[in-house]
Structure 1
Amino acid sequence: MKLKKIAALLLMMVLALTMTVQAETVLEPLPMDDLSFGAKPKDENYIANTAEKVKNQEYISHIGYEDESISVRIYKDRYADTDYVYAHVKISHPSQLRSAPASMDSEGLKNPSFRQSSKTRGRLIADAVNAVVSLNGDFHIKTDGKVTFRMGTQVRNNADGRYDLLIIDKNGDFSHLSGNKDKKNGPLFPLKADYTAYFEANQENMYQVFCFGPVLVENGVSVIDEKYLNKSIGSQNAAQRAAVCQLGPLEYMLVASYGNQTKGNKGMTIFEFAQACEMAGRALNPENGCLLAFNLDGGNSTTLNFKGIRNNKFSYVKVNCPDIERQLSDIIYFATLVK
């Protein structure tokens, strides 16, 4: 009898411990209708790069982050005589995919919003909102021809057919709104009336809208022709490029390429960058690749921020082209739910 009582007591203790652990790991979603942010990522959850440093090559000191709510891995590859880095991100809830304006970093600013025209370093915005990983946005303060809808709030609709629109819904899924095709003058992206009609029909489920483009990859395959011409984005220029991509439900990829300002790199045309995004998507998701890859503001604005060693201090660093750092108006980022 005593052994049975001891066994029963031990079983109760194990069950109580299991319930306690489960209670501790309940993850509460973040608000999806304001600029609040998650807890600070824990330094011990970052994964150091153990690969040997190669002379004359930039070294990424930390290549991952892992906790109960988010997984991030950083990779580096090369295509078209140009280096590019990409972050593979898996999250637990759509609210972890967030956006933030530069005014989040402005001291003394009581009510930061996407209506302000502030600019600052991407790593400072990332630090202000406790981002696990972040990428530059679409330079929303250039309002001419732009649509801005962030964190569930409509800011402006100045669409005039020059830019493509990435729409992220409240499930974290990507889609895009394109206009009609005009064979004589090239692609015609959404006009104000096109976006207004979409907004009126879908606003309850809209979460973020980024206005730049074009769509680079859809259903695993590049949709950009080698002769694609779009002067608004300098499509034929060899430059730095940035893209945000969806690989699957709550699974994403951030891509940033180098430019010719960095030794040994020529930069990518939009066609070459689309090819690189397709290859990176296939590397991470061999079966389906990128469901949708969307081009964001590029050139010197291209900024992938992650924590690493900077001036002998562990802090937010620019992973791509760290020697070139332009001020940004906004970022797209991923947050942890672990407090």
Structure 2
Amino acid sequence: MEPTTPPGAPDVSRRRFLRRALLGGAVAAGVSAGGATAWALDRFVIDHVEVSDVSALQSTYTAPATGASATSSVAAVPTTDAGSAPVVGATSYVSDAASVSISTVTTGSGAEKVTYFVADLILSDMTVLRSAFADDSFGENIVENTSDIARDNNAIFAVNGDYYGFRDTGIVIRNGIAFRNAGARAGLALHRDGSMTVYDETTTTADRLVAEGVWHTLSFGPALLVDGRIVDGIDDVEVDTNVGNHSIQGRQPRTGVGLLDRNHLVLVVVDGRSDGYSAGVTMTGFAALFQELGATVAYNIDGGGSSTMYFDGRLVNNPLGRNSERGTSDILWLAGPS
């Protein structure tokens, strides 16, 4: 995979905020724009395209042989008849490959009100759940709105991913291809056999994981549930609290993924930071939602203004109560009718 050419257009809202934060910080510290600020702009704002036209790369890629079956389904996809046409409802979709059913939940009132969205996914096999990158390119600081990436890929359903492009660490495997091998934290692996595990990135490699049948990795965190139990200490975890990024502590908007059974996932988006609409949840509160849904494994991915659920051409949730999206680097998605 050779480095490629010029970066695309930036996400204006996110990048303006970062520039203001970086430049303001430099002035306060008495640092010249040619020093720390220039470095920070390069690190956090300017596009660095490592692989362009990812779709073309994936179309010619052959996965290595593994001992893991890609078709070992436990939960059968609920279709009306074998080979029937996909059916799109107001909050549901059923095809031979996958089904998704979306529900809206509201709890509490006033300052304690929380609104969240649950997508129940049953897959014929894990490879039905796809990943896509902003601008169809892999690298740092490349962003698009979740809905735009979804439309570019004819997705019927999508949520934001782990915003891998904000950092230069973490193992990144998407659609069975290894893009980055820089283990740093507890990651999530979605396996071709329909299982999902939390693992230590620092004890393995991307190539080894691909050979073992890993279809996707997500590198954000923390892990919320392991063996059905809430992980201790998750309300004290800090992830990527450097310039331009909000703390993940406290009551926040969140996106996460959980495993109910083999090839049976649940994705949850919690809105937040919006008085009278949704306050958000703590990390332990988020883990409890997955536990109540019956998940055995669950993992937190990018949240805040990036937390987005998309279905059939529209936003399902209301990010930050503003009904507008913030750019992200990647999504998880299901294909719609061809």
What SS does the aligned partner of 1:138 have? coil
Q: 1:147, CA displacement in angstroms?
A: 2.0
Letter of the 1:327 counterpart: G
The share of aligned pairs that are identical, in percent, is: 25
Contact 1:221 1:290 in 2 (8 A): no
Cα deviation, residue 85, structure 1: 0.6
Offset of residue 146 of structure 1:
2.2
Distance 1:201 1:84, change over 3 A: closer
Count of residues in Structure 1 that have an aligned counterpart in Structure 2:
248
Aligned residue for 1:77, secondary structure, equals strand
Quote the Cα distance in structure 1 between the aligned partners of 2:307 and 2:157: 14
User: Matched residues in 1 for 2:85 and 2:204: separation?
Assistant: 42
Q: 2:154 is aligned with what amino acid?
A: N
In the alignment, structure 1 segments of 5+ residues that lack a partner are 1-30, 37-41, 48-61, 104-111, 179-189, 282-288, 308-314
Are the aligned partners of 1:115 and 1:155 in contact in 2 as well (CA < 8 Å)?
Answer: no
1:232-311 mapped onto 2 (5 Å cutoff): 232=239, 234-261=247-274, 263-279=276-292, 281=293, 289-307=294-312
| Larger-Rg structure | 1
Q: Distance in 1 between matches of 2:314 and 2:149?
A: 10
Name the counterpart of 1:130: 154
2:186 alignment counterpart: 164
Partner of 2:323: 323
Deviation beyond 6 Å, 4+ runs, structure 1: none
Q: In structure 2, the residue corresponding to 1:253 is in which secondary structure?
A: strand
The answer to whether residue 224 in structure 2 is matched with residue 216 in structure 1 is yes
Report the alpha carbon displacement of residue 319 of structure 1 after superposing the two structures with TM: 2.7
Q: CA deviation at 1:44?
A: 7.7
Q: 1:127 to 1:224 in 2, by over 3 A?
A: farther
Name the counterpart of 2:101: 73
TM-superposed CA distance for 1:202, in Å, is 5.8
Alignment partner of 1:85: what SS?
strand
Q: After TM superposition, give the deviation of residue 83 of structure 1 in Å.
A: 1.1
Q: Which residue of 2 aligns with 1:176?
A: 198
Give per-residue Cα distances to partners, 1:14-61, cap 9 Å, x unaligned: xxxxxxxxxxxxxxxxx9x8269xxxxx998221xxxxxxxxxxxxxx
CA contact (8 A) 1:35 1:151 kept: no
Mark the CA change 1:73 to 1:235 in structure 2 (over 3 Å): closer, same or farther.
same
**Could you say what secondary structure the match of 2:299 adopts?**
strand
Structure 2 residue runs of 5 or longer lacking an equivalent are 1-54, 61-83, 241-246
> What does residue 45 of structure 1 align with?
87
Superposed, 1:131-210 pairs within 5 Å as 131-160=155-184, 163-178=185-200, 190-191=201-202, 194-196=203-205, 199-200=207-208, 203-210=211-218
Q: Provide the rounded CA distance (Å) in 2 between the counterparts of 1:208 and 1:144.
A: 17
Identify if the C-alpha distance between structure 1 residues 201 and 242 changes in structure 2 by more than 3 Å, giving closer, same or farther. Answer: closer
Which deviates further from its counterpart, 198-207 or 116-125?
Answer: 198-207
- What TM-score does the superposition give when structure 1 sets the normalisation length? 0.66
Amino acid in structure 2 at the alignment position of 1:78:
T
Q: State the partner residue of 2:58.
A: 34
Return the match for 2:92 from 47, 64, 85: 64
TM-superposition CA deviations, 1:221-254 (whole Å, max 9, x none): 32244x7311216343211000011111211111
Once residues 183 and 212 of structure 2 are traced to their aligned partners in structure 1, the CA distance between those partners, rounded to angstroms, is 20
Task: Give the Cα separation in 1 of the matches to 2:235 and 2:297.
Answer: 18
